[in-house]
Structure 1
């Protein structure tokens, strides 16, 4: 069995890495953070690379590639801690292509593929605490379709997006809807997040909506699992670059007339960072490979991956700061931004403790052995 990346996947990696190195330098990222945490021009550049079309079906103008290709792209974006939410394009493409009626697919998938429409998932509510089955948003039928009343929190680039995928209860059951941001009854309040990206509170009071899936919970679970896999891949890229910068610093910083990389205790800590990176990488691969599995198997796999990634992100980020000393927490030095990104990623799509509980609840008769 061949576990190597294909030539096309290697070319994709090279193209994204080249753009990150030359087109998304740390100085540009700092300017985007200062301007609010999202740059439509950078989003357009991702579209020009074909990344927004990567997982869109070919029939709707996409490249019809799979989860592994998406993983490759997200890893490289993680190296540059790119702020623009490409994962949301993967989520929208996956949910719409598998659950939406053909008319909705035809209206939105070509626009997502071309980067013309940024469609983001708006599912978090204050009382949910990562649980997908907790939903206070309500939907009702109207003469022209449906209307939603909802308040959703921490919506990625919510005040800049073109549309939202919103779960809400319809006739006592969670359904999934698409709401355009410029529709009547939609209000957004944007703000910066800890890692420099942008999010918003979204209030629908009420707002016209298009039904995407009557079985909204299944569609929402798929959306979150795609998001987890993308976050895992992105985190691997962040950790890889964090390790590289830290190891370079250990070789350059001198104490007692020698590089501190020669100190055995620090070498052991660097080795532990590398080990955690490789554990995270293998579980990120596992997560992406399991996206096409049946629902229960997929959900178990993604929670397992998020547990390992959460542990690795915390360890690598904290060790990088400690090995750098004071400079590691200064805003002018990139390691502090890696650390903030890893810290926020650990809590995104459910923190480590939440997913440890999910793994435990799904353990059944395997007694912890991964079947």
Structure 2
């Protein structure tokens, strides 16, 4: 398998890296976090780079690029600790809208590609514990429209979005995948209450309450579940790539710290015990990177293979992120846990990534449930 990047892919990576280095430094990150966790100006700059058009089909004004390009972008944005919800809005939403009627696609996809509309998914609910099919929000047809009742939690920048893609149940048991449908709810729809709040890493999320809220049907039962699974897997692969970028940046600045700080008249990087710890962290990063590649390259496979690959990647990412974060913060000493030290912000972002779209234990459980008695050895 050829893992070399094309010239276009290299140029894309370098363009995003230059923007992160020049326009999204640590001070801007802290300023955006202090102001609420979302910057419309920064989102406009991402659109100016063409990143909001990355996953939008060319027929709707996008670039129509694929999973590898998205992975490269997410790694570089991870290095910069981007607070804006790029993966949910620019990668997951186009995957969901692929199941929508043509008129909905024509209305929203060009605006998303141009950066004129921020649309985010709203599928998580309190008490679901990362179970995608457990949805209590209900949808009922009333005349020619649908009305939604329920609540959604941890919606990325939900109070800043122009529209929300909401999962709701039209029939069946509370955890039955075949009873789910997807709806588009505009931000100013009646009966929609949205409360924004900050997250531990400085980003922004919102809690939604819907009461007789009018919505447009995006995908009905059956098609909705397939689209939702696909979009979440795209989001998981993006999170894995972002975590690789965060860990790479954290390791680099930790190595600089070890080479700069002196003890007993020499740089502490010369102490063998510390060198072993940074080497172990580097190994965890490379394990995470290889699994991120696996998740990305499996996104085009059949659902069962795809879901297993992204779960394996998220499991390894969770383990690597915890190890790298803990080691690098400890190697910084007491300053590593302060707000003025960028290492603490990397660790907080890694912690939030581990808890997003299913934590380590959730994906371990999913993988364990799929094991056969023979573990496939005699199959």
Query: Which deviates the most, 47-56 or 358-367?
Result: 358-367
1:187 pairs, out of 168, 189, 193, with 193
Cα shift readout 1:112-151 (whole Å, capped 9, x = no counterpart): 1111111111111112100011110000112232111120
For structure 1, the residue ranges without an aligned partner over 5 or more in a row are none
1:307 corresponds to which residue?
Answer: 315
Tell me how many residue pairs correspond in the alignment: 369
Is the 8 Å Cα contact of residues 150 and 206 (structure 1) preserved in structure 2?
Answer: no
Contact 1:132/1:217 (CA < 8 Å) preserved in 2? no
2:334 corresponding residue in structure 1 = 326
Per the alignment, in what secondary structure is the counterpart of residue 124 of structure 1? coil
Aligned equivalents of 1:361, 1:174: Cα separation in 2: 23
Name 1:150's counterpart in structure 2. Answer: 150
In structure 2, the partner of 1:30 is 30
Residue 290 (structure 1) shift? 0.8
Pick one of 210, 216, 219 that aligns with 1:213. 219
Instruction: Specify the alignment match of 2:86 in structure 1.
Output: 86
Equivalent position SS for 2:299? helix
**Cα gap change, 1:154 to 1:94, in 2 (>3 Å):** same
For residue 102 of structure 1, what is the aligned residue in structure 2? 102
Q: Is the 8 A contact 2:95 2:227 kept in 1?
A: no
TM superposition shift of 1:365: 5.7
> What is the match of residue 177 of structure 1?
183
Q: Is 1:203 aligned to 2:209, yes or no?
A: yes
Alignment of structure 1 residues 123-142 onto 2, 5 Å: 123-142=123-142
Query: What TM-score does the superposition give when structure 2 sets the normalisation length?
Result: 0.95
Q: Does 1:252 align with 2:253?
A: no
Q: Is 2:129 the partner of 1:121?
A: no
Residue number among 226, 239, 246 corresponding to 1:231 in the alignment? 239
Equivalent-residue separation in structure 1 for 2:143 and 2:10 (angstroms): 51
1:119/1:364 CA distance change after superposition, 3 Å: farther
Q: Offset of 1:363 from its aligned partner?
A: 2.3
1:19 equivalent to 2:25? Answer no
5+ unaligned residues in a row in structure 2: which ranges?
173-178
User: Contact 1:157/1:198 (CA < 8 Å) preserved in 2?
Assistant: yes
